[in-house]
Amino acid sequence: MPKFIDHHPMPAMPPAMAKQIADQIKAGKADRFGVKGLNVFAGTGEAWCL
């Protein structure tokens, strides 16, 4: 299965939202588009999603 890296602006988010994203990735759950995230690398104002 192909893997893609996505880079985009990432505004600051509340800790609860960040935890929800981390929990979804750890659980291997697909998002509403059917995409399963493997990891997210967040920097200041930007993010890379694998």
Domain range summary for the chain, segments of one domain joined by +: 6-49
Q: Is the pLDDT of residue 1 over 80?
A: no
CA gap 39, 50 in Å, rounded: 5
CA gap 28, 31 in Å, rounded: 10
Query: In the chain, what percentage of residues exceed pLDDT 90?
Result: 16
The model's pLDDT over 7-30, given as tens digits with 9 standing for 90+, comes to 989 888 888 988 888 898 899 888
Distance of CA 42 to CAs 1, 2, 9, Å? 24, 22, 10
pTM for the full model?
0.67
Q: Is the pLDDT of residue 4 over 80?
A: yes
pLDDT grade for 5, boundaries at 50, 70 and 90:
very high
Task: Summarize the confidence of residues 29-47 as an average pLDDT.
Answer: 87
